[in-house]
Amino acid sequence: MDLLEEILQYLKEQHLDPIVKSIQSETKLVQHPANYKVKMIDSLSKVPVAPANQPALSNLLKKLSKKALPNVPAQIQTSKLYKNYDRKLRRNPKKAQTEDTISIEIKESTAIQDLKNISDISIDYRQEPSSIIQPSNISFGPISEEPDFLDEFDNDDDLGFLNYECDSDQLQTTSKELALKHGFPERMNVKNRSDHRPFFDKPEEKPECELKFPKNNNKHYPITCDNATYDCYDLKVIYDREKTGFEESKEFQIVINSVIAARYQVIEFLGSAAFSKAIQCLDLVTNQMVCLKIIENNKDYVDQSIDEIKLLLYVNVNGDVEKKNLLKMYDYFYHKEHLFIVTELLKDNLYEFSKYNREHGEKPYFTIGRLQKIAYQVLIGLEYLVSLKLIHCDLKPENILIKSFSNCEVKIIDLGSTCFIHDHLGSYVQSRSYRAPEVILGCQYDYRVDIWSLGCILAELYTGNVLFQNESVQGLLARVIAICGPIPDEVMKNGRHTGKYFTKEKLIYQEIAEDDNENQHLSEDMIEIIKQSTKGKKKVNIIVPKRSSLRARLHCEDSMFLDFVRCLLDVDKDKRLTASEALRHPFITECKYQDGL
Protein backbone atom coordinates (compact mmCIF):
# COMPACT_ATOMS: atom_id res chain seq x y z
CA MET A 1 0.00 0.00 0.00
CA ASP A 2 1.53 3.34 -1.02
CA LEU A 3 1.47 6.52 1.05
CA LEU A 4 -1.65 8.00 -0.56
CA GLU A 5 -3.71 4.84 -0.12
CA GLU A 6 -2.55 4.49 3.48
CA ILE A 7 -3.69 8.03 4.31
CA LEU A 8 -7.05 7.68 2.58
CA GLN A 9 -7.65 4.40 4.41
CA TYR A 10 -6.88 6.07 7.75
CA LEU A 11 -9.24 8.98 7.01
CA LYS A 12 -12.06 6.61 6.04
CA GLU A 13 -11.65 4.74 9.32
CA GLN A 14 -12.01 8.07 11.15
CA HIS A 15 -15.19 8.86 9.15
CA LEU A 16 -13.60 11.95 7.59
CA ASP A 17 -15.18 11.45 4.17
CA PRO A 18 -15.19 15.17 3.17
CA ILE A 19 -11.41 15.26 3.51
CA VAL A 20 -11.05 12.04 1.52
CA LYS A 21 -12.94 13.63 -1.37
CA SER A 22 -10.88 16.82 -1.08
CA ILE A 23 -7.57 14.92 -1.26
CA GLN A 24 -8.73 12.79 -4.18
CA SER A 25 -9.70 15.87 -6.18
CA GLU A 26 -6.48 17.72 -5.29
CA THR A 27 -4.10 14.86 -6.05
CA LYS A 28 -5.54 14.38 -9.52
CA LEU A 29 -3.76 17.63 -10.40
CA VAL A 30 -0.38 16.44 -9.06
CA GLN A 31 1.97 15.12 -11.69
CA HIS A 32 5.19 14.76 -9.72
CA PRO A 33 5.12 12.03 -7.00
CA ALA A 34 7.21 14.16 -4.62
CA ASN A 35 4.43 16.74 -4.55
CA TYR A 36 1.85 14.39 -3.01
CA LYS A 37 2.86 15.13 0.54
CA VAL A 38 2.82 18.87 -0.02
CA LYS A 39 -0.64 18.72 -1.58
CA MET A 40 -2.07 16.44 1.09
CA ILE A 41 -0.88 18.55 4.01
CA ASP A 42 -2.20 21.66 2.30
CA SER A 43 -5.60 20.00 1.72
CA LEU A 44 -5.81 18.64 5.25
CA SER A 45 -5.04 22.02 6.78
CA LYS A 46 -7.71 23.89 4.83
CA VAL A 47 -10.74 21.60 5.18
CA PRO A 48 -13.05 22.61 8.07
CA VAL A 49 -13.13 19.86 10.69
CA ALA A 50 -15.55 19.44 13.59
CA PRO A 51 -13.94 19.71 17.04
CA ALA A 52 -14.67 16.03 17.72
CA ASN A 53 -12.58 15.01 14.70
CA GLN A 54 -9.68 17.38 15.23
CA PRO A 55 -7.62 14.99 17.42
CA ALA A 56 -7.74 12.36 14.66
CA LEU A 57 -6.67 14.87 12.02
CA SER A 58 -3.96 16.26 14.28
CA ASN A 59 -2.61 12.73 14.82
CA LEU A 60 -2.53 12.10 11.08
CA LEU A 61 -0.70 15.35 10.35
CA LYS A 62 1.93 14.49 12.95
CA LYS A 63 2.47 11.10 11.31
CA LEU A 64 2.51 12.61 7.86
CA SER A 65 5.18 15.16 8.82
CA LYS A 66 7.51 12.27 9.75
CA LYS A 67 6.60 10.05 6.79
CA ALA A 68 9.06 9.58 3.93
CA LEU A 69 8.00 10.93 0.58
CA PRO A 70 7.37 8.44 -2.24
CA ASN A 71 10.46 7.31 -4.10
CA VAL A 72 11.20 9.50 -7.06
CA PRO A 73 12.22 7.66 -10.22
CA ALA A 74 15.96 7.72 -10.74
CA GLN A 75 15.75 9.40 -14.12
CA ILE A 76 13.84 12.37 -12.64
CA GLN A 77 16.43 12.87 -9.90
CA THR A 78 19.35 12.60 -12.26
CA SER A 79 17.95 14.88 -14.94
CA LYS A 80 17.17 17.62 -12.42
CA LEU A 81 20.58 17.31 -10.82
CA TYR A 82 22.35 17.62 -14.13
CA LYS A 83 20.02 20.40 -15.25
CA ASN A 84 20.82 22.47 -12.14
CA TYR A 85 24.50 21.60 -12.41
CA ASP A 86 24.57 22.59 -16.07
CA ARG A 87 22.89 25.91 -15.31
CA LYS A 88 25.39 26.73 -12.56
CA LEU A 89 28.30 25.50 -14.68
CA ARG A 90 27.47 28.03 -17.37
CA ARG A 91 27.44 30.83 -14.77
CA ASN A 92 30.63 29.98 -12.89
CA PRO A 93 32.45 26.76 -13.94
CA LYS A 94 34.91 26.57 -11.03
CA LYS A 95 32.33 27.34 -8.34
CA ALA A 96 29.78 24.97 -9.83
CA GLN A 97 32.24 22.07 -9.94
CA THR A 98 33.18 22.44 -6.28
CA GLU A 99 29.61 22.94 -5.06
CA ASP A 100 27.86 20.25 -7.03
CA THR A 101 30.33 17.37 -7.18
CA ILE A 102 28.81 15.79 -4.09
CA SER A 103 25.21 16.20 -5.23
CA ILE A 104 25.89 14.61 -8.62
CA GLU A 105 27.37 11.54 -6.98
CA ILE A 106 24.14 10.76 -5.10
CA LYS A 107 23.06 7.20 -5.80
CA GLU A 108 20.18 7.16 -8.22
CA SER A 109 18.12 4.70 -6.19
CA THR A 110 18.24 6.74 -2.95
CA ALA A 111 14.74 7.63 -1.67
CA ILE A 112 14.00 11.17 -0.53
CA GLN A 113 13.64 11.03 3.26
CA ASP A 114 13.19 14.68 4.15
CA LEU A 115 12.49 17.95 2.37
CA LYS A 116 15.74 19.43 3.62
CA ASN A 117 17.72 16.71 1.90
CA ILE A 118 16.30 17.45 -1.55
CA SER A 119 17.25 21.11 -1.77
CA ASP A 120 19.58 20.48 -4.71
CA ILE A 121 16.77 18.70 -6.59
CA SER A 122 13.65 20.67 -5.82
CA ILE A 123 14.81 24.29 -5.56
CA ASP A 124 14.23 26.40 -8.60
CA TYR A 125 17.07 28.92 -8.48
CA ARG A 126 14.89 31.49 -10.19
CA GLN A 127 12.54 31.60 -7.19
CA GLU A 128 12.88 33.95 -4.28
CA PRO A 129 14.43 32.14 -1.30
CA SER A 130 11.33 32.50 0.87
CA SER A 131 9.12 30.81 -1.70
CA ILE A 132 10.67 27.45 -0.77
CA ILE A 133 8.64 26.52 2.28
CA GLN A 134 8.31 23.35 4.27
CA PRO A 135 4.64 22.37 4.46
CA SER A 136 3.48 23.69 7.76
CA ASN A 137 0.60 24.00 10.27
CA ILE A 138 1.27 20.34 11.06
CA SER A 139 -0.75 19.37 14.15
CA PHE A 140 -2.38 22.79 14.50
CA GLY A 141 -5.67 22.20 12.75
CA PRO A 142 -7.24 24.51 10.15
CA ILE A 143 -5.93 28.02 9.83
CA SER A 144 -8.58 30.73 9.64
CA GLU A 145 -9.50 31.82 6.14
CA GLU A 146 -10.05 35.45 5.20
CA PRO A 147 -13.53 36.29 3.89
CA ASP A 148 -13.61 36.54 0.11
CA PHE A 149 -14.42 40.22 -0.32
CA LEU A 150 -14.33 41.96 -3.64
CA ASP A 151 -11.26 44.20 -3.58
CA GLU A 152 -12.68 47.68 -4.16
CA PHE A 153 -9.33 49.49 -4.00
CA ASP A 154 -8.27 50.92 -7.36
CA ASN A 155 -4.56 50.46 -6.62
CA ASP A 156 -2.05 50.49 -3.76
CA ASP A 157 -2.28 54.29 -3.50
CA ASP A 158 -6.08 54.21 -3.02
CA LEU A 159 -6.95 55.86 0.32
CA GLY A 160 -9.55 53.14 0.86
CA PHE A 161 -12.74 55.15 1.27
CA LEU A 162 -15.39 57.24 -0.48
CA ASN A 163 -15.80 60.87 0.57
CA TYR A 164 -19.10 62.80 0.74
CA GLU A 165 -19.20 66.48 1.70
CA CYS A 166 -22.17 68.16 3.38
CA ASP A 167 -23.03 71.06 5.68
CA SER A 168 -22.65 70.34 9.38
CA ASP A 169 -26.38 70.94 9.99
CA GLN A 170 -27.12 68.27 7.38
CA LEU A 171 -24.84 65.66 8.95
CA GLN A 172 -27.57 63.46 10.48
CA THR A 173 -29.79 63.49 7.39
CA THR A 174 -26.92 62.82 4.97
CA SER A 175 -25.51 60.11 7.23
CA LYS A 176 -28.83 58.23 7.24
CA GLU A 177 -29.09 58.44 3.44
CA LEU A 178 -25.52 57.20 2.92
CA ALA A 179 -25.97 54.47 5.53
CA LEU A 180 -28.99 53.15 3.66
CA LYS A 181 -27.10 53.27 0.37
CA HIS A 182 -23.95 51.52 1.62
CA GLY A 183 -25.42 49.04 4.10
CA PHE A 184 -24.58 50.69 7.42
CA PRO A 185 -24.69 50.07 10.34
CA GLU A 186 -25.21 46.39 9.37
CA ARG A 187 -21.83 46.32 7.64
CA MET A 188 -20.18 47.14 10.95
CA ASN A 189 -21.62 44.05 12.62
CA VAL A 190 -18.85 41.59 13.49
CA LYS A 191 -19.66 38.17 12.05
CA ASN A 192 -19.40 35.09 14.20
CA ARG A 193 -16.15 33.30 13.60
CA SER A 194 -14.30 30.30 14.88
CA ASP A 195 -11.64 31.37 17.34
CA HIS A 196 -10.47 27.87 18.15
CA ARG A 197 -6.72 27.90 17.66
CA PRO A 198 -5.18 24.71 19.05
CA PHE A 199 -1.74 26.25 19.51
CA PHE A 200 -3.17 28.59 22.19
CA ASP A 201 -5.12 26.01 24.16
CA LYS A 202 -2.28 25.18 26.53
CA PRO A 203 -0.30 28.34 27.20
CA GLU A 204 3.22 27.88 28.34
CA GLU A 205 3.28 28.63 32.05
CA LYS A 206 6.25 30.73 33.00
CA PRO A 207 6.96 31.45 36.65
CA GLU A 208 6.76 35.16 37.42
CA CYS A 209 10.30 36.17 38.22
CA GLU A 210 11.09 38.73 40.88
CA LEU A 211 11.74 42.12 39.32
CA LYS A 212 15.07 43.81 39.97
CA PHE A 213 15.76 47.49 40.16
CA PRO A 214 19.10 49.21 39.52
CA LYS A 215 21.22 49.87 42.57
CA ASN A 216 22.33 53.36 43.57
CA ASN A 217 24.82 54.86 46.00
CA ASN A 218 22.25 56.72 48.04
CA LYS A 219 21.71 55.56 51.63
CA HIS A 220 18.16 56.89 51.89
CA TYR A 221 16.62 55.46 48.71
CA PRO A 222 14.78 53.28 47.87
CA ILE A 223 12.11 54.01 50.46
CA THR A 224 8.38 53.24 50.66
CA CYS A 225 5.98 56.04 51.51
CA ASP A 226 2.22 56.46 50.91
CA ASN A 227 2.00 53.04 49.20
CA ALA A 228 4.68 53.98 46.67
CA THR A 229 8.36 53.08 46.49
CA TYR A 230 10.62 56.02 45.75
CA ASP A 231 14.02 55.43 44.18
CA CYS A 232 16.80 57.40 42.51
CA TYR A 233 19.74 56.98 40.16
CA ASP A 234 23.00 58.86 39.91
CA LEU A 235 23.50 61.26 37.01
CA LYS A 236 27.08 62.40 36.34
CA VAL A 237 27.52 66.08 35.57
CA ILE A 238 30.75 66.50 33.63
CA TYR A 239 32.12 70.05 33.70
CA ASP A 240 35.22 72.19 33.18
CA ARG A 241 36.63 72.96 36.65
CA GLU A 242 37.64 76.49 35.73
CA LYS A 243 34.61 77.64 33.80
CA THR A 244 31.16 78.92 34.81
CA GLY A 245 28.17 80.42 33.08
CA PHE A 246 25.98 79.38 30.19
CA GLU A 247 27.07 77.99 26.87
CA GLU A 248 27.14 80.41 23.95
CA SER A 249 24.50 78.39 22.05
CA LYS A 250 21.71 76.04 23.05
CA GLU A 251 22.68 73.88 20.08
CA PHE A 252 25.43 71.39 20.81
CA GLN A 253 28.12 71.84 18.16
CA ILE A 254 29.17 68.53 16.56
CA VAL A 255 32.73 68.66 15.23
CA ILE A 256 34.28 65.60 13.61
CA ASN A 257 37.32 64.27 15.56
CA SER A 258 36.54 66.46 18.58
CA VAL A 259 36.34 64.73 21.97
CA ILE A 260 33.16 64.98 24.08
CA ALA A 261 33.47 64.88 27.88
CA ALA A 262 37.17 63.99 27.54
CA ARG A 263 36.21 60.45 26.48
CA TYR A 264 34.16 60.14 23.28
CA GLN A 265 35.83 61.06 19.97
CA VAL A 266 33.33 62.08 17.30
CA ILE A 267 33.64 59.89 14.19
CA GLU A 268 30.45 60.47 12.23
CA PHE A 269 27.06 62.19 12.39
CA LEU A 270 24.39 59.48 12.18
CA GLY A 271 21.15 61.44 12.05
CA SER A 272 18.58 63.44 13.99
CA ALA A 273 15.13 62.76 15.42
CA ALA A 274 12.41 65.01 16.84
CA PHE A 275 14.36 66.00 19.95
CA SER A 276 17.79 64.43 19.67
CA LYS A 277 20.84 63.87 17.47
CA ALA A 278 22.86 60.66 17.15
CA ILE A 279 26.59 60.47 16.47
CA GLN A 280 29.07 57.63 16.15
CA CYS A 281 31.95 57.93 18.58
CA LEU A 282 35.07 56.06 19.61
CA ASP A 283 35.15 55.40 23.35
CA LEU A 284 38.76 56.27 24.21
CA VAL A 285 38.55 54.21 27.42
CA THR A 286 37.20 50.91 26.02
CA ASN A 287 38.40 51.50 22.44
CA GLN A 288 35.03 50.46 21.02
CA MET A 289 32.59 52.27 18.75
CA VAL A 290 29.45 53.55 20.47
CA CYS A 291 26.43 55.70 19.71
CA LEU A 292 25.94 58.99 21.54
CA LYS A 293 22.38 60.30 21.70
CA ILE A 294 22.43 64.06 22.38
CA ILE A 295 19.15 65.35 23.80
CA GLU A 296 18.04 68.82 22.74
CA ASN A 297 18.25 71.52 25.42
CA ASN A 298 14.55 71.66 26.21
CA LYS A 299 13.05 70.86 29.59
CA ASP A 300 10.28 68.57 28.30
CA TYR A 301 12.70 66.62 26.12
CA VAL A 302 15.22 66.31 28.95
CA ASP A 303 12.49 65.12 31.33
CA GLN A 304 11.37 62.47 28.86
CA SER A 305 14.96 61.31 28.37
CA ILE A 306 15.53 61.11 32.14
CA ASP A 307 12.54 58.74 32.13
CA GLU A 308 14.09 56.76 29.28
CA ILE A 309 17.38 56.37 31.19
CA LYS A 310 15.41 55.05 34.18
CA LEU A 311 13.71 52.46 31.96
CA LEU A 312 16.93 51.48 30.18
CA LEU A 313 18.56 50.87 33.56
CA TYR A 314 15.55 48.79 34.61
CA VAL A 315 15.51 46.78 31.36
CA ASN A 316 19.29 46.23 31.37
CA VAL A 317 19.43 45.04 34.99
CA ASN A 318 16.62 42.45 34.71
CA GLY A 319 18.04 40.33 31.90
CA ASP A 320 20.46 39.90 29.05
CA VAL A 321 19.32 42.57 26.59
CA GLU A 322 21.53 40.93 23.96
CA LYS A 323 19.32 37.83 24.05
CA LYS A 324 16.13 39.87 24.48
CA ASN A 325 16.89 42.00 21.39
CA LEU A 326 16.76 45.33 23.22
CA LEU A 327 19.20 48.21 23.16
CA LYS A 328 22.20 48.00 25.49
CA MET A 329 23.05 51.19 27.38
CA TYR A 330 26.66 51.78 28.46
CA ASP A 331 26.61 55.22 30.07
CA TYR A 332 24.71 58.49 30.52
CA PHE A 333 25.77 61.94 31.71
CA TYR A 334 25.05 65.69 31.64
CA HIS A 335 27.57 67.90 29.88
CA LYS A 336 27.49 71.45 28.48
CA GLU A 337 23.76 71.87 29.19
CA HIS A 338 22.89 68.67 27.34
CA LEU A 339 21.91 65.18 28.41
CA PHE A 340 23.82 62.33 26.72
CA ILE A 341 22.90 58.64 26.49
CA VAL A 342 25.66 56.23 25.39
CA THR A 343 24.50 52.96 23.82
CA GLU A 344 25.79 50.19 21.60
CA LEU A 345 26.27 51.12 17.96
CA LEU A 346 23.78 49.54 15.57
CA LYS A 347 23.14 49.96 11.84
CA ASP A 348 20.22 51.40 9.84
CA ASN A 349 16.67 51.38 11.10
CA LEU A 350 14.14 49.29 9.19
CA TYR A 351 12.51 52.32 7.57
CA GLU A 352 15.74 53.73 6.15
CA PHE A 353 17.05 50.38 4.98
CA SER A 354 13.73 49.36 3.43
CA LYS A 355 13.62 52.62 1.49
CA TYR A 356 17.24 52.22 0.36
CA ASN A 357 16.68 48.59 -0.63
CA ARG A 358 13.64 49.47 -2.75
CA GLU A 359 15.49 52.28 -4.53
CA HIS A 360 18.90 50.63 -5.00
CA GLY A 361 18.62 46.92 -4.21
CA GLU A 362 18.65 44.33 -6.97
CA LYS A 363 16.51 41.93 -4.93
CA PRO A 364 14.05 42.64 -2.10
CA TYR A 365 15.79 42.14 1.23
CA PHE A 366 12.60 41.68 3.25
CA THR A 367 11.55 38.24 2.07
CA ILE A 368 9.02 36.27 4.10
CA GLY A 369 11.86 34.23 5.61
CA ARG A 370 13.61 37.35 6.89
CA LEU A 371 10.31 38.78 8.11
CA GLN A 372 9.88 35.56 10.09
CA LYS A 373 13.26 36.23 11.72
CA ILE A 374 12.40 39.87 12.43
CA ALA A 375 8.99 38.99 13.86
CA TYR A 376 10.52 36.36 16.14
CA GLN A 377 13.20 38.72 17.47
CA VAL A 378 10.78 41.59 18.06
CA LEU A 379 8.32 39.25 19.81
CA ILE A 380 11.10 38.02 22.11
CA GLY A 381 11.78 41.66 23.00
CA LEU A 382 8.10 42.46 23.54
CA GLU A 383 7.61 39.33 25.65
CA TYR A 384 10.50 40.49 27.82
CA LEU A 385 8.96 43.96 28.19
CA VAL A 386 5.66 42.33 29.18
CA SER A 387 7.49 40.37 31.89
CA LEU A 388 8.69 43.74 33.22
CA LYS A 389 5.10 45.10 33.02
CA LEU A 390 6.09 47.55 30.26
CA ILE A 391 4.35 48.64 27.05
CA HIS A 392 6.70 50.06 24.40
CA CYS A 393 4.00 52.38 22.98
CA ASP A 394 6.00 53.55 19.96
CA LEU A 395 6.94 50.51 17.92
CA LYS A 396 7.57 51.49 14.29
CA PRO A 397 10.19 50.75 11.58
CA GLU A 398 12.31 53.69 12.75
CA ASN A 399 12.55 52.16 16.25
CA ILE A 400 13.83 48.77 15.14
CA LEU A 401 17.52 48.87 14.22
CA ILE A 402 19.52 46.31 12.29
CA LYS A 403 22.38 44.68 14.15
CA SER A 404 23.51 42.40 11.30
CA PHE A 405 22.44 42.55 7.67
CA SER A 406 23.76 39.10 6.75
CA ASN A 407 22.11 37.33 9.72
CA CYS A 408 19.06 39.61 9.72
CA GLU A 409 19.44 40.48 13.40
CA VAL A 410 17.50 43.42 14.83
CA LYS A 411 17.00 45.25 18.12
CA ILE A 412 14.21 47.36 19.58
CA ILE A 413 15.22 50.90 20.59
CA ASP A 414 13.68 54.12 21.97
CA LEU A 415 11.93 53.62 25.30
CA GLY A 416 11.09 57.31 25.46
CA SER A 417 7.33 56.63 25.24
CA THR A 418 7.38 53.36 27.18
CA CYS A 419 5.07 53.12 30.18
CA PHE A 420 4.12 50.65 32.89
CA ILE A 421 0.87 48.75 32.42
CA HIS A 422 -0.46 50.25 35.67
CA ASP A 423 0.38 53.84 34.65
CA HIS A 424 -2.39 56.31 33.83
CA LEU A 425 -2.48 55.46 30.13
CA GLY A 426 -3.01 58.45 27.86
CA SER A 427 -4.72 58.52 24.46
CA TYR A 428 -1.81 60.07 22.61
CA VAL A 429 0.63 57.20 22.25
CA GLN A 430 2.06 55.39 19.22
CA SER A 431 2.87 56.98 15.88
CA ARG A 432 -0.39 57.38 13.98
CA SER A 433 0.11 54.86 11.18
CA TYR A 434 0.95 52.17 13.77
CA ARG A 435 -1.70 53.17 16.35
CA ALA A 436 -4.14 50.50 17.50
CA PRO A 437 -7.92 51.16 17.10
CA GLU A 438 -8.55 50.96 20.85
CA VAL A 439 -6.02 53.74 21.43
CA ILE A 440 -7.62 55.97 18.80
CA LEU A 441 -11.10 55.50 20.26
CA GLY A 442 -9.94 56.08 23.84
CA CYS A 443 -10.48 52.59 25.26
CA GLN A 444 -8.48 50.94 28.00
CA TYR A 445 -5.49 49.30 26.32
CA ASP A 446 -2.72 46.92 27.23
CA TYR A 447 0.44 45.23 25.91
CA ARG A 448 -1.31 44.21 22.68
CA VAL A 449 -1.08 47.71 21.20
CA ASP A 450 2.56 46.78 20.45
CA ILE A 451 1.36 43.61 18.68
CA TRP A 452 -0.83 45.74 16.41
CA SER A 453 2.19 47.91 15.57
CA LEU A 454 4.25 44.83 14.73
CA GLY A 455 1.56 43.66 12.29
CA CYS A 456 1.67 47.06 10.56
CA ILE A 457 5.47 46.91 10.36
CA LEU A 458 5.60 43.41 8.81
CA ALA A 459 3.02 44.36 6.17
CA GLU A 460 4.93 47.54 5.35
CA LEU A 461 8.29 45.78 5.03
CA TYR A 462 6.79 43.13 2.75
CA THR A 463 5.07 45.54 0.34
CA GLY A 464 7.18 48.68 0.75
CA ASN A 465 4.00 50.68 1.47
CA VAL A 466 2.52 51.87 4.76
CA LEU A 467 -0.45 49.55 5.30
CA PHE A 468 -2.73 52.16 6.85
CA GLN A 469 -1.83 55.20 4.77
CA ASN A 470 -3.67 58.23 6.12
CA GLU A 471 -3.87 61.99 6.22
CA SER A 472 -6.04 62.03 9.35
CA VAL A 473 -7.24 59.78 12.16
CA GLN A 474 -10.57 59.40 10.34
CA GLY A 475 -8.76 58.25 7.19
CA LEU A 476 -6.79 55.76 9.27
CA LEU A 477 -9.97 54.33 10.83
CA ALA A 478 -11.58 53.99 7.40
CA ARG A 479 -8.61 52.07 6.05
CA VAL A 480 -8.49 49.79 9.11
CA ILE A 481 -12.17 48.91 8.67
CA ALA A 482 -11.69 48.40 4.92
CA ILE A 483 -8.76 45.99 5.32
CA CYS A 484 -9.22 44.35 8.74
CA GLY A 485 -12.98 44.45 9.16
CA PRO A 486 -15.49 46.18 11.46
CA ILE A 487 -14.66 47.43 14.93
CA PRO A 488 -16.50 45.40 17.60
CA ASP A 489 -19.45 47.02 19.40
CA GLU A 490 -17.73 46.60 22.76
CA VAL A 491 -14.79 48.72 21.60
CA MET A 492 -17.12 51.35 20.13
CA LYS A 493 -19.22 51.53 23.32
CA ASN A 494 -16.24 51.82 25.65
CA GLY A 495 -14.36 54.37 23.54
CA ARG A 496 -14.29 57.85 25.05
CA HIS A 497 -13.67 59.36 21.62
CA THR A 498 -16.07 57.25 19.51
CA GLY A 499 -18.49 60.17 19.15
CA LYS A 500 -15.71 62.34 17.70
CA TYR A 501 -15.31 60.00 14.74
CA PHE A 502 -18.56 58.03 14.17
CA THR A 503 -22.17 58.96 13.46
CA LYS A 504 -25.07 56.98 14.95
CA GLU A 505 -25.10 54.91 11.76
CA LYS A 506 -21.42 54.04 12.37
CA LEU A 507 -20.19 56.07 9.42
CA ILE A 508 -17.00 58.06 9.92
CA TYR A 509 -17.20 61.84 9.76
CA GLN A 510 -14.64 64.65 9.80
CA GLU A 511 -15.06 68.40 10.08
CA ILE A 512 -13.35 70.32 7.28
CA ALA A 513 -10.92 72.90 8.61
CA GLU A 514 -11.40 76.44 7.36
CA ASP A 515 -8.70 77.72 5.06
CA ASP A 516 -7.76 81.16 6.37
CA ASN A 517 -5.51 81.77 3.36
CA GLU A 518 -8.49 81.56 1.03
CA ASN A 519 -9.73 85.03 1.98
CA GLN A 520 -6.43 86.68 2.82
CA HIS A 521 -6.79 89.13 -0.12
CA LEU A 522 -10.00 90.58 1.43
CA SER A 523 -10.23 93.30 4.04
CA GLU A 524 -10.63 92.44 7.71
CA ASP A 525 -14.22 93.77 7.71
CA MET A 526 -15.16 91.58 4.74
CA ILE A 527 -13.55 88.51 6.35
CA GLU A 528 -15.58 89.15 9.53
CA ILE A 529 -18.82 89.48 7.49
CA ILE A 530 -18.08 86.11 5.78
CA LYS A 531 -17.38 84.47 9.14
CA GLN A 532 -20.66 85.71 10.58
CA SER A 533 -22.64 84.57 7.54
CA THR A 534 -21.13 81.10 7.61
CA LYS A 535 -21.29 80.71 11.39
CA GLY A 536 -22.73 77.30 12.25
CA LYS A 537 -22.47 76.13 8.64
CA LYS A 538 -19.20 74.30 8.71
CA LYS A 539 -18.53 71.65 6.10
CA VAL A 540 -18.24 67.98 7.07
CA ASN A 541 -16.87 64.97 5.22
CA ILE A 542 -18.71 61.68 5.64
CA ILE A 543 -16.34 58.80 4.96
CA VAL A 544 -17.49 55.38 3.72
CA PRO A 545 -14.81 52.66 3.88
CA LYS A 546 -14.30 50.54 0.79
CA ARG A 547 -13.83 46.76 1.04
CA SER A 548 -10.53 44.96 0.74
CA SER A 549 -8.46 42.34 2.57
CA LEU A 550 -4.93 41.72 3.81
CA ARG A 551 -4.39 39.22 0.99
CA ALA A 552 -5.28 41.86 -1.59
CA ARG A 553 -3.23 44.62 0.02
CA LEU A 554 -0.15 42.49 0.62
CA HIS A 555 -0.33 40.73 -2.78
CA CYS A 556 0.79 37.60 -0.98
CA GLU A 557 -0.24 33.96 -1.37
CA ASP A 558 1.62 32.57 1.65
CA SER A 559 -1.42 31.61 3.73
CA MET A 560 0.57 31.05 6.94
CA PHE A 561 2.24 34.48 6.79
CA LEU A 562 -1.12 36.09 6.01
CA ASP A 563 -2.76 34.32 8.93
CA PHE A 564 0.04 35.44 11.24
CA VAL A 565 -0.27 39.10 10.23
CA ARG A 566 -4.06 38.81 10.43
CA CYS A 567 -3.78 37.55 14.02
CA LEU A 568 -1.53 40.50 14.91
CA LEU A 569 -3.99 42.94 13.31
CA ASP A 570 -7.16 41.64 14.95
CA VAL A 571 -9.37 44.70 15.45
CA ASP A 572 -10.81 43.05 18.57
CA LYS A 573 -8.13 43.79 21.15
CA ASP A 574 -9.29 40.93 23.39
CA LYS A 575 -8.80 38.38 20.61
CA ARG A 576 -5.54 39.79 19.31
CA LEU A 577 -2.51 37.65 20.07
CA THR A 578 -0.20 38.38 22.96
CA ALA A 579 3.56 38.23 22.38
CA SER A 580 3.76 34.75 23.95
CA GLU A 581 0.86 33.50 21.82
CA ALA A 582 2.35 34.95 18.64
CA LEU A 583 5.59 33.10 19.37
CA ARG A 584 3.58 29.85 19.27
CA HIS A 585 1.89 30.59 15.95
CA PRO A 586 2.81 27.99 13.27
CA PHE A 587 4.37 30.73 11.11
CA ILE A 588 7.05 31.06 13.80
CA THR A 589 7.26 27.47 15.05
CA GLU A 590 6.70 25.35 11.94
CA CYS A 591 7.39 27.22 8.71
CA LYS A 592 10.86 26.64 7.25
CA TYR A 593 12.31 29.12 4.79
CA GLN A 594 15.81 29.12 3.34
CA ASP A 595 16.48 32.56 4.79
CA GLY A 596 14.22 32.19 7.82
CA LEU A 597 14.55 30.77 11.31
Catalytic residue IDs: 394
Please answer whether residues 540 and 423 qualify as being in contact, where contact means their C-beta atoms are separated by less than 8 angstroms: no
Q: Give the strand pairing for 236-238 and 329-335.
A: parallel
Query: To which H or E segment does residue 410 belong?
Result: strand 409-412
The Cβ of residue 501 has, within 10 Å, a number of other Cβ atoms equal to: 22
Give the span between the Cα atoms of 581 and 204, in whole angstroms: 9
Give the span between the Cα atoms of 205 and 193, in whole angstroms: 27
Report how far Cα 348 is from the mean position of its chain's Cα atoms: 17
Please answer whether residues 478 and 466 qualify as being in contact, where contact means their C-beta atoms are separated by less than 8 angstroms: no
For residue 218, is it left (φ>0), alpha (ψ between -120 and 50) or beta? beta
In terms of Cα–Cα distance, which of 456, 559, 542, 451 is closest to 502? Answer: 542
Residue 527, C-beta contacts closer than 8 angstroms, at least 6 positions apart: 519
Report how far Cα 553 is from the mean position of its chain's Cα atoms: 15
In terms of Cα–Cα distance, which of 468, 541, 538, 535 is closest to 507? Answer: 541
Instruction: Return the bridge partners of 541, or none.
Output: 165, 510
Angle between helices 3-13 and 17-27 (to 10 degrees): 160
- Mark out the alpha helices in 92-235 (DSSP H runs): 93-104, 119-122, 171-182
- Whether residue 222 has a cis bond before it, omega within 30° of 0: yes
Query: To which H or E segment does residue 376 belong?
Result: helix 368-387
Angle between helices 36-46 and 17-27 (to 10 degrees): 140
Looking from the CA of 152 toward its CB, the CA atoms found within 13 Å total 14
3-class DSSP assignment, residue 166: strand
